[in-house]
Structure 1
Amino acid sequence: MVSVGVAITLGPADVSLVNVRDILLNHLAGADIPIRVSKEAIVWDDRLPRALVAATCGAGLGVCGVILQSLLRNPLADPYVLGISSGASTGAVVVAILGVGPAALGIPGGAFIGSIASFAVVLLIARLAGGSDDKVILAGIAVTQLFSALTSFVVFAFADSDATRGVMFWLLGSLEGVRWDDVALCGLAVLGGIGFCLLRAQVLDAFAFGDDVASSLGVSVRRERIMFMTVTALLTATLVSVAGAIGFVGLVLPHAARFFTGPLHVRLVPVTALIGATFMVWVDAISRVAFSPSPLPVGVATALIGVPVFIAIMFRRRRAQ
């Protein structure tokens, strides 16, 4: 909450924490504190929804990383190992450039459909190849490359310069133009995902020791894996459809959270969500201010920060061993 409040004050317009407090009291508590209309519009209509969407994206992607690293028993697993991000990119490009689908669908709707389609292809390939964890990862890599190639082909063959610029900015991850309906959509998806993980935390603990151990503990391995992967796919698809492709959050933050909580998922899931939310709020605020008036795409900023952090985590794990 402190991070969101401070992040809202950052920017070319002069907004203080007192202004933020007064605006929130006016809207949420029915107060009637005099506030300039311009400041109210900046805080309530622009910066606050953006900060909240950033927080939900960080929390949701971090939790998805926790799920996949447990299910696949792979410390390098993240939400994009299932090809969801590349599918979202293809869906967004098809809608934006080719104009496929109704006008009301828009880029977010196309991205969501593309995400679900790519996830379905990954599951189909993995099932036909044997259905093991390794097959899921390999299928995800193959589908990622396939949909990335389709995205590049559509942009190269059919897009003009203006359309290409707009789509590429979205593909790099962008929180520009998010509104309160986006906050509600992402918030409900993330709260549902976190609640599901907390209710099934012991199942995730069992998966961390392998399928055989989980089965011996009474876990229906096949059913639980499908449920968790479906939740991960739906959550990632929802977040990507709103914010674009944001990498390294689901890969790095679960490792960082384990330093504080250990491996038990009843603690790991909420702490990862909290760290992810705080991280994304600050990454978005810095990327928005550092290159003003042209904001840096938030996906670029997460990669620039995430890569060295992940390398540091790898070296620390090696020293610990």
Structure 2
Amino acid sequence: MNTRTIFILISTFLLILLFITMYFSIYGGHPLSVLVLKYRFYRVIEAVTAGFVLGFAGAYLQASLRNPLVDHYILGIGSGALFTVYLAYLLFSSVQLLVYSSIAIIGGLTALAITVLIAESIGGGATSYVLAGLGVNSLFSGLSVLLSYFILTVNPYALYLLVGSFIVASPAYLPIIIFSIILVVTGYFPLAKPLNALILGDEYAYQLGYNPRIYRLASILLAGISSSLIVSCFGLIGFLGLVAPHIARLLVRSSDNRYVLFLSGLLASILLLITDDISRILLVSVTGEVPAGAIVSVFGAPFFLFLIVSRRRGGVR
């Protein structure tokens, strides 16, 4: 069975699984008021689409940087975007959501640029990107926590952005999410094949007629902008973009980005929706539900550590 056939079968199965999960997430097997159904509908749609974008973004970053240890969270994009959103909350308490999202893009791309510059200055290897990203992530996360103490009086829901939650789901976020999806999907068609060449090295890409700098920059910008937009709406959801591409490669037994990119988005959608269901239904504490981003991190962080240990044992730096 060739890779294309495997991809079609797996995609079909995952789409069916996704729609079944969405149905039960919205209706839950119990009669509900129209208001509750409407809220759940937007929450489910936004969890699915946010997961799709983050999965795609993670696959873009891993392929363009030739580094399986990165995603928007590890590279500091998420924390950079969150910091600037918090800063905007503090300075401009009553501006349009579009303004917050635009500011988030600036913060996310700034953090990414800092990470790349530091990583390249210390060798440019996979571990260099992880170390640089964790440093930048820690810096902006710490600043975000400090700002959160001043913002809570203005916007109590801002606290949920620190750990990523869909409790704030609203139809107001749909235009931003739809724009994010358009970005990653539009980039898929011109970038999938060049990214395959980039994985094999810049010289090989040049031989095939691809300029690695242009395609790498385009992929990184797409991932940075789209993931920053998601952070501006729902906060930090780490490791999802790290895990999904690895599962996608395992399922299709290939690193071909024509298949991995789409499957990463689909897998991340399902994982985030299930995680949000767990947080909403099973893990409800006295003070409210446990944020979905916290649950993703509980499972994603050990996977990240496993990847690092595996690469070190294999002699890869």
TM-score, normalised to structure 2's length?
A: 0.79
- Cα distance, 1:82 vs structure 2: 3.4
Cα gap change, 1:316 to 1:258, in 2 (>3 Å): farther
5 Å-filtered alignment, 1:272-291, equals: 272-291=264-283
- Aligned to 1:233, which of 224, 232, 235? 224
Distance 1:121 1:85 in 2: 8
Q: How many residues align?
A: 291
The one-letter amino acid of 2:47's match is A
- Aligned to 2:258, which of 253, 258, 266? 266
The one-letter amino acid of 2:84's match is G
Cα gap change, 1:243 to 1:124, in 2 (>3 Å): closer
The answer to whether structure 1 residue 305 and structure 2 residue 296 are counterparts is no
- Cα distance, 1:278 vs structure 2: 1.1
Contact 1:10 1:285 in 2 (8 A): no
Q: Which runs of 5+ in 2 are unaligned?
A: 1-18
- Cα distance, 1:171 vs structure 2: 0.8
The one-letter amino acid of 2:24's match is V
The answer to whether structure 1 residue 5 and structure 2 residue 4 are counterparts is no
2:77 corresponds in structure 1 to 84
Cα gap change, 1:257 to 1:291, in 2 (>3 Å): same
Contact 1:86 1:115 in 2 (8 A): no
Render the CA deviation track for 1:68-110: whole Å, top value 9, x for unaligned: 11111111011124321111221232233x3x1261245x743
The answer to whether structure 1 residue 181 and structure 2 residue 172 are counterparts is yes
The one-letter amino acid of 2:229's match is T
Render the CA deviation track for 1:150-189: whole Å, top value 9, x for unaligned: 2234346x467x5696433221101113222323421331
The one-letter amino acid of 1:8's match is I
Render the CA deviation track for 1:276-301: whole Å, top value 9, x for unaligned: 11111111111111133721111101
1:21 corresponds in structure 2 to none
The answer to whether structure 1 residue 73 and structure 2 residue 73 are counterparts is no
Distance 1:312 1:124 in 2: 26
The one-letter amino acid of 2:276's match is D
Cα gap change, 1:92 to 1:127, in 2 (>3 Å): closer
Structure label with greater radius of gyration: 1
Distance 1:265 1:87 in 2: 27
* SS of the residue 1:110 aligns to: helix
Identical counterparts, % of pairs: 26
- Aligned to 1:40, which of 34, 41, 46? 34
Distance 2:54 2:164 in 1: 13
The one-letter amino acid of 2:227's match is T
1:123 corresponds in structure 2 to 113
1:200 corresponds in structure 2 to 191
TM-score, normalised to structure 1's length?
A: 0.78
1:168 corresponds in structure 2 to 159
Q: Which runs of 5+ in 1 are unaligned?
A: 16-37
Distance 1:217 1:284 in 2: 43
1:252 corresponds in structure 2 to 243
